[in-house]
Amino acid sequence: MTQARQAGVLMHITSLPEGNLGPDAYRFVDTLVEMGVSVWQTLPVNQPHDDQSPYQSVSAHAGHSGMISARQLLKDGLCLPNEVTMPLPSLMTKVMFRVQSGGGLTVNFDGLTWPGFARFCQTQQYWLEDFALFLCLREQHDHQSWHSWPQAYRMHDHQALQAYSVANQEKLTLIKFTQYVFFQQWAQLKVYANQRGIQLFGDIPIFVAYDSADVWAHPDWFKLDADLNMTVVAGVPPDYFSETGQRWGNPHYDWQAMQADGFSWWLGRIDIQSQLFDVLRIDHFRGLQAAWEIPAHEPTAMNGAWQEAPGHALLQAIRQAYPQLSLVAEDLGIITADVDALRHAFDLPGMKILQFAFGGGEDNPYLPENIEENSVAYTGTHDNDTTLGWYQAAPEHVRNHLHYYLKQEHPDMPNALIQLTFNSIARLAIVPIQDILALDSQSRMNMPGTTEGNWRWRMQWSQLTDEKKQSFRQLVEESGRLHV
C-alpha cells in the first residue's frame, strides 16, 4: 500500500443493487471518487456453494459466475436486449457462439475473442480443467458432494475422466468460457477503477471447502484418510463471536506435502488474486502460523488443538513470486506473539476494529491511541453488526466508555465511530457501506456461527443520498485521507 493516508469502503459485489460486474459497479467506482475514497474492498469473489457464502467456494481459483453482467455484455455488443434476462447458461451459450463465429453484434466489436479464450484456457489449465470437470459432474449428480459420486469419479480416475470429457465436451467448454467472461469483465472493471485512482482490495479465505474442485483433484494436499474422509476440520476455539468456538468444517492442509511441492497450489491461487486485486487480505492469518484442528467427529470447536504451519516459508515464496502485491493480515481473535512475529517479519499491516475498542482497559489494542500506523482500521467488518446496530445493542458499560471517550452523551452514530476510525494513525481506514448509510442490524452482512440468512444484503442507490456522500467526503477530508 502507499505511504499516504487512505480511506476505503467495504462493499461486496453482490451487495450492489444488481449484484454483478455491470453498470452498477462502474457507478460505484465513480461514487468512491466523488467521496474522495481511494480503496474499494470486497469479500472473496470465488464461485460459492448454494448458500452463497464467499468463504465456502467450489474452487479457490474460479470466479463467481453469478457476478457476470448481462447488461455489460449487451453494452459490449455480445447479446441482444431480449436476451438480458435469460438464465446464465443459455445466455453464455449464445455469447460463446457469437465469439466463436468471429465477433459480436456490432461492426466495431472489440471484446472477447476465440483466440483470447484459447489463451485463457492454456494459461489457466492448471486449475480450469479440473474445475470444469468438477462442476459438470456436480451438476450431473444434483449438487451432491464429490464424496458421494461413483467411485471412478470420486477417486479422480484418469481414464474415466478422459472418457467423460469426450462425452461432455460442449458442457465443459461452456463452463470454461463462462470463466473467461468473468475474468474479462473483472479486468475491464479493474482497469476503469485503477484509471480513476481506485485500488481494488480483495480477500482470500485461508481454507477451502471440502466439497471443492481443489480437494477432489488434489486429496494428497489435505489431511484425509484412505477413503478421502476428513480426519480433522478447521475452526477457531471459543472467542468473542461464539462460546463454543466456530467449527467451520473445512479440511486442513497437509503442509508437509504442499511445502515439498514448492507451494505450487498456493502460488497459483495468489497468481489469480494478483490479477484481480491491488491489495489482498489473508483471512485468518494466524492459521499460517498455527491453525485450530478439530477432530472431524467433534460437533463443536471446543475440543481442538493448535497445529503449526510453515507460514514463513509460504509468505517468502509469495513475496518472491509477487513482489508488487500488497498483503494485509486478518489478525483478529486469539493472537500470540508468534503470530505477531510472523506478520512483522513481512511488514504486513494488521486489522484494528473500533467496535472492539470499548468496555475494557486502557491497554485495549483497538483503542485509537494504541493503533499502529501500519494497520488497516475499521469501524467493523462483514462479520460484525453494523455500527448503528452494534451501538444500539451494546451493553451499558460499553456505551458509557464510548460516551466518556468521545466526551459526548448523545453521539451522532455511526458518524462518531467513523470519525474516530478516520482520525486514527492507521495508514488505511475502511468503513462498510452500511455505516455510510447509517443502517441498523437488519442490514448486517453475516452472523458468524450461523448458516441462514447471511450474504443477502443489497444496497439501493436511493439510500446513498447526496447529503450522505457529502458528509462522508467531509470526514475523509478532515482526517487527511482525501484522494483527489
In sequence order, the β-bridge partners of residue 31 are none
392 is written with which cell numbers? 444500539
Q: How far apart are CA 309 and CA 324, in angstroms?
A: 24
Angstrom CA distances, 304 to 84, 238, 246, 300, 448, stand at 49, 11, 11, 9, 19
Angstrom CA distances, 357 to 203, 220, 225, 373, 379, stand at 24, 43, 43, 17, 10
Q: How far apart are CA 402 and CA 405, in angstroms?
A: 5
Residue 274 in 3-state DSSP? helix
Q: Catalytic: which of 130, 203, 214, 383?
A: 383
211 as an active site residue: the answer is no
Count other C-beta atoms under 10 Å from residue 238's C-beta: 14
Q: Is 39 exposed, middle or buried (0-12, 13-18, 19+ CB in 10 A)?
A: buried
Q: Catalytic: which of 24, 214, 271, 283?
A: 283
End-to-end Cα spacing for the chain: 17
260 is written with which cell numbers? 515439498
283 as an active site residue: the answer is yes
Q: How far apart are CA 235 and CA 295, in angstroms?
A: 11
Q: Please answer whether residues 73 and 57 qualify as being in contact, where contact means their C-beta atoms are separated by less than 8 angstroms.
A: no
Q: How far apart are CA 79 and CA 88, in angstroms?
A: 12
Q: Please answer whether residues 240 and 390 qualify as being in contact, where contact means their C-beta atoms are separated by less than 8 angstroms.
A: no
Q: Please answer whether residues 230 and 294 qualify as being in contact, where contact means their C-beta atoms are separated by less than 8 angstroms.
A: no
CA-based torsion, 154, 158, 160, 162: positive or negative: positive
Nearest to 265 by CA among 330, 209, 203, 318: 318
412 as an active site residue: the answer is no
Q: Catalytic: which of 330, 331, 385, 435?
A: 330
Helices 23-34 and 466-478 sit at what angle, rounded to 10 degrees? Answer: 50
Q: How far apart are CA 150 and CA 153, in angstroms?
A: 6
Active site residue ranges:
283, 330, 383
